[in-house]
Amino acid sequence: MLVDYFNQPELAAQVRQALGTQVGLASYGQRPFLFVAYTTDQNAATAAVKTLSDRGFWPMLVDSRRVTVIAPAVR
């Protein structure tokens, strides 16, 4: 799962707080995104998307084969 952060790195802390997990940085389609999670659990993915969407973020479920993780954790 990726989140578009619109080139505003301070959103990483907000996403981390919303989900209580580390947030990384990834590239998808030659654009940078916050890397939130990799999961095969559809229920967990749906819950995370709902949580983030409800808080005004732009989460996306994408094909992990097209994602390059740049940094596993952003401080």
Report pLDDT digits (tens) over 2-55.
999 998 989 999 999 999 999 999 999 999 999 999 999 999 999 999 999 999
What is the model's pTM?
0.90
Distance in angstroms (rounded) separating the CA atoms of residues 4 and 31: 9
Residue 75 confidence (pLDDT)? 77
29 dihedral zone (left: phi>0; alpha: psi -120 to 50; beta): left
Distance in angstroms (rounded) separating the CA atoms of residues 32 and 28: 6
